[in-house]
Amino acid sequence: MSAAPARLAVRGVEKAFGGITVLAGVSFDVAPGTLHALLGGNGAGKSTLMRVVLGLERADAGELRLDGADYRPLGPADARAHGVVMVPQERTLCLHLSVEENVTLGLPLGRFGLVGARPRRELAARALSAAAGDAARIDLGARASSLSVADQQLVEIARALAHAGLADDGAVRAKVLVLDEPTSSLGRRDAERLFERVAALTARGVAVVLVSHFLDEVLAHCDGYTVLRDGRVEGEGTPREAGQQRIVREMLGELPRRAERTARPRGDAGEALRVTDLSGERAPRGASFVVRHGEILGVAGLVGSGRTELLRAVAGLDRRVSGTVTVSAPGGLGMLSEDRGGEGLMLSRSVSDNVTLSPRGPRVVSPARLRSEARGWMERLSVRAAGPAQRVRELSGGNQQKVALARLLREDHGVLLVDEPTRGIDVGSKAQILDLLRELAAQGKAIVVVSSQLDELLEVADRIAVLRRGVLGEARDVAAWDAHRLLEEAAA
Amino acid sequence: MTSAQGAGRRGVSQRVRGVLAERPWIGPLAALVVVFVLFGLATPETFLRTQNLLTMARQTVVVGVCALGMTMIIVTGGIDLSVGSVVALTTVIIAARLRDGAGPVSAAVTGVAVGGAVGAAVGVLVGRFRMMPFVVTLGTMSALRGVAKGIAKEQKIDCDPRGLDTLLVSAQGMGPGLFVALGLAVLVALTLTYTRFGRHVFAVGSNEAAARLAGIDPSHVKLLVYTLAGLAFGVGGVMEFSTLTVGDPTDSIGLELDVIAAVVIGGAPLAGGEGSVVGSILGALLMTVIKTGAVHLGLPTWVQEIVTGGIIVVAVALDRARYARR
């Protein structure tokens, strides 16, 4: 053990829910002023561990130490008082309130519960300056809804810092800042900017714990890492020394076997989807493309480029201002939403209800039969759940995504529109889902995949088109692209 | 050792919770049995008599039949505040038709059809025009009450019920209306569980955006649900007429609250996506048993009201506990 006490020390933490062990003795250290990655597949126990650190759960066994002192948070408020704060994965800003109100939300300021306007403004300004830097052009009076996703993220960090407290000179009192998947909704450039800001915080001595699925980010920015698998520490060290392959091996246990890429269809396959000059309210702007049977068209674009709007306009979910969409495939067109909880799934209903949700099918059918059918789909897509009657809410992100995919497969659409298929899911499920898309294309389905993960598009697509500010570029064969060129074109 | 015991206990509570999650009506059933047994023990010679049991069943019929419609509406995440007005309007229309010489069947069918038409209109506003059901039915609650008063010229319409009065009470003690209500309950329960439409109702209530993405038209589902519910309220109006034997435009004020309470006690959250016919019927029975039992015990009305209100709150609290994981 090192001589200086770690900023945050986790020692043998155990936690079980209803007899199911989630954390089986986890130990790790985060030194002051470092960025530490917490890695692991879905269900590895990352979230539970962070909930313990933030006082949202009490550990069954083990101890936590903060700067060498015993740390037993009684709840999130107590954790804050100790300087331990978190920015959750989902955005939690009140979009109708101003930046200032959002940053100072929930802060007990002043006496008698009254909040002085000026101290509040000053505190918000200091927190924002610490989180976003003085160069940031975020107006304290702006409505949160008017900010870009990236700026909203910085406001969330400012709020977390404000919760831990800021000295009058602007010194940050936060000791540990947990960032849960902070870049999953950011484009690459915004993600880089975020990491610059995180580096500024670590330079002030804050220990930052990063929960992430993006290994390239971890390799590029993190000082240390810990891999969790099935509630145990399976690897730790310095990311750059360990290298991507070793980390992936530690996360997965064994490297997943990738399906051989099937031969790509040539131009002789029939057209399945033709989109001509399609425009929506804001995006897309005059998009045209063709997808043939058995082909995967990748659409690359940064956040805000109109990726989701393009798919929604094609699917007819949003109003089309002009243009035509011709589907010439049996089973029509189906869409996998990027927003699993909001639109993709009925979280409060069972796996079976979700898989078998359909406007078609027999008018009368027994739930038992649907459950047994759902069981078949669960096996086919290796969905890990207690059974078809389990609520989807209780599944991990990767398994939820498989349930959403199973519904689309059951519908047997000839054309699939897939929006960020691997967002927020672990490496193992990601590989399975990409393999599945290839397999479906091999069966003759026409697929449009929209993603901000360029490596993923290069791996899965036959042709790729870049979407920039609502304008869709020409689709070119995947061989003509590499990650650099895609990025250049998307960010130009 | 202690940990193993702890795990075992936790396993049991987990399983109990699982059973409750799948059968949300077990709670109201248990409450009904407890209340029934308590009143039975307290006043065995009057409460348990067949006559009293039949009376309670009859008193539950109107709320129960209306709760069938309300269950569907609440499962879609909606609400209908105009039930009382629809029922009153139905009694007025039936009485007016009978007074004008129509046959009992024809009069009853007209009443039910008016209920369905009103439901369809609400369904169009809520489904097609995406208006808030609370606001729409707040409007129809007042408007239909006015229509009923207008038709009845602000007084009761007297008429010869021509046998409709024997719907719930007959010489044998039990009229056919009870069986009609039971049959309807079975029909709605089967529809919700075994049909595609029923699953769409739950889908729309659980996540409307997901339902739309899956190709289901939520406005169509809502139109059907409100229409069917309107028909159920119409049938409730026929049952109400059977006990009133007159058309009364001021009847059933506040009935909607009893109906909503029955559905909520039966385990359907107002947020939608959940609910069951069995639960709602049990909820309606529970309220009747409490009211009747209180009368038998000689408790004043205000005590019944407090108890009923308490049960509603407890039911919702139990519901929250059921979903609070961990």
Q: What is the mean pLDDT of residues B147-156?
A: 96
Percent of chain B whose predicted confidence (pLDDT) is above 90: 68
Per-residue confidence (pLDDT) for residue A475, from 0 to 100? 92
Residue B102, Cβ neighbours under 10 Å: how many?
17
Q: What pLDDT digit, counting tens, does each position of A321-339 carry?
A: 999 999 998 888 999 998 8
Dig out the tokens for A358 from the structure. 């359909």
Asked if the structure places residue B292 within a domain, the reply is yes
Tally of domains within chain B: 1
Contacts of B194 in chain A (CB under 8 A): 364-367
Confidence category of residue A448, pLDDT binned at 50, 70, 90: very high
Torsion A93-A94-A96-A97 (CA) sign: negative
Confidence category of residue B1, pLDDT binned at 50, 70, 90: very low
Per-residue confidence (pLDDT) for residue B323, from 0 to 100? 65
Residue A34, Cβ neighbours under 10 Å: how many?
18
Query: CA-to-CA distance for B98 and B120, rounded, in angstroms?
Result: 25
DSSP result, B18-79: HHHHH-TTHHHHHHHHHHHHHHHHHSHHHHTSHHHHHHHHHHHHHHHHHHHHHHHHHHTT--
Chosen from A311, A312, A345, A348 to mutate, greatest number of chain B CBs within 10 A: A348
Fold annotation for A271-491? Rossmann fold (3.40.50)
pLDDT value at B247 more than 90: yes
Chosen from B196, B219, B220 to mutate, greatest number of chain A CBs within 10 A: B196
Mean pLDDT is lowest, of A10-19, B101-110, B256-265, for A10-19
Give the residue extent of every domain in chain A.
8-252, 271-491
Q: Identify which of A18, A337, A361 has the shortest CB distance to residue B213.
A: A337
Report residue A169 CA to chain centroid gap: 35
Asked if the structure places residue B268 within a domain, the reply is yes
The CATH number of residue B180's host domain is: 1.10.3470
Chosen from A319, A340, A356, A357 to mutate, greatest number of chain B CBs within 10 A: A357
Residue A84, Cβ neighbours under 10 Å: how many?
28
**Beta pairing, strands A84-87 & A176-180:** parallel
Asked if residue B288 lies in contact with residue B82, where contact means CB atoms within 8 angstroms, the answer is no
Q: Residue A293: name the closest of A480, A440, A477, A449 by CA.
A: A440
Chosen from B206, B270, B326 to mutate, greatest number of chain A CBs within 10 A: B206
Tell if the CB–CB gap between B11 and A19 is shorter than 8 Å. yes
- Name the residue of chain A whose CA is nearest to B11's CA: A18
Per-residue confidence (pLDDT) for residue A258, from 0 to 100? 41
Per-residue confidence (pLDDT) for residue B191, from 0 to 100? 96
Tell if the CB–CB gap between A345 and B214 is shorter than 8 Å. no
ipTM confidence: 0.86
- Nearest-neighbour CA in chain A from B279: distance (Å): 18
Tell if the CB–CB gap between A359 and B217 is shorter than 8 Å. yes
Confidence category of residue B37, pLDDT binned at 50, 70, 90: very high
Phi/psi of residue A375, nearest 5 degrees: -60, -40
Asked if the structure places residue B180 within a domain, the reply is yes
Q: Cα torsion for B249, B254, B259, B263, to the nearest 10°?
A: 160
Asked if the structure places residue B276 within a domain, the reply is yes
Q: Identify which of A337, A346, A365 has the shortest CB distance to residue B194.
A: A365
Confidence category of residue B11, pLDDT binned at 50, 70, 90: low
Q: Identify which of A346, A353, A361 has the shortest CB distance to residue B196.
A: A361
pLDDT value at B277 more than 90: yes
Q: What pLDDT digit, counting tens, does each position of A278-299 carry?
A: 998 878 889 999 999 999 999 9
Q: What is the mean pLDDT of residues B83-91?
A: 97
- Name the residue of chain B whose CA is nearest to A363's CA: B196
The H-assigned helical ranges of A268-334 are: 307-315
**Residues 6+ away with beta carbon under 8 Å from A92:** A156
Query: CA-to-CA distance for A266 and B257, rounded, in angstroms?
Result: 65
Q: What is the mean pLDDT of residues B234-258?
A: 95
Backbone conformation region of residue A68, classed left if phi is above 0, alpha if psi is from -120 to 50, else beta: left
Q: What is the mean pLDDT of residues A227-254?
A: 84
| Amino acid found at B320 | R
Q: Identify which of A334, A348, A363 has the shortest CB distance to residue B196.
A: A363
Q: What's the per-residue H, E or C state across B115-141?
A: HHHHHHHHHHHHHHCCCCHHHHHHHHH
- Name the residue of chain B whose CA is nearest to A21's CA: B7
Query: CA-to-CA distance for A174 and A485, rounded, in angstroms?
Result: 40
Per-residue confidence (pLDDT) for residue A164, from 0 to 100? 84
Contact residues of A toward B, CB < 8 A = 16-19, 317, 334-335, 337, 342-349, 353, 356-367, 389, 391, 394, 407, 411
SS3 A447: strand
Placement of tokens 């039975």 in the chain: B40
| Amino acid found at A157 | I
**Residues 6+ away with beta carbon under 8 Å from A462:** A264, A265, A295, A296, A297, A298, A441, A477, A478
Tell if the CB–CB gap between A357 and B210 is shorter than 8 Å. yes
Confidence category of residue A255, pLDDT binned at 50, 70, 90: very low
Asked if residue B275 lies in contact with residue B206, where contact means CB atoms within 8 angstroms, the answer is no
Mean pLDDT is lowest, of A312-316, B11-15, B141-145, for B11-15
pLDDT value at B31 more than 50: yes
Q: What is the mean pLDDT of residues A222-232?
A: 91
Confidence category of residue B14, pLDDT binned at 50, 70, 90: low
Dig out the tokens for B275 from the structure. 């609910």
SS3 A41: coil
In CATH, which superfamily holds the domain spanning A8-252? P-loop containing nucleotide triphosphate hydrolases (3.40.50.300)
Q: What pLDDT digit, counting tens, does each position of A407-419 carry?
A: 999 999 999 999 9
- Whether omega for the bond prior to residue A284 falls within 30 degrees of 0, making it cis, is yes
pLDDT value at B21 more than 70: no
Asked if the structure places residue B43 within a domain, the reply is no
Q: What pLDDT digit, counting tens, does each position of A46-78 carry?
A: 888 999 999 998 999 999 999 999 999 998 889
Which range marks the domain in which residue B105 is found? 27-36+49-323
Per-residue confidence (pLDDT) for residue A191, from 0 to 100? 85
| Amino acid found at A342 | G
Q: What pLDDT digit, counting tens, does each position of B156-197 carry?
A: 999 999 989 888 877 666 788 999 999 999 999 999 999 999
Percent of chain A whose predicted confidence (pLDDT) is above 90: 44
Q: Identify which of B14, B194, B273 has the shortest CB distance to residue A349.
A: B273
Contacts of A317 in chain B (CB under 8 A): 212-213
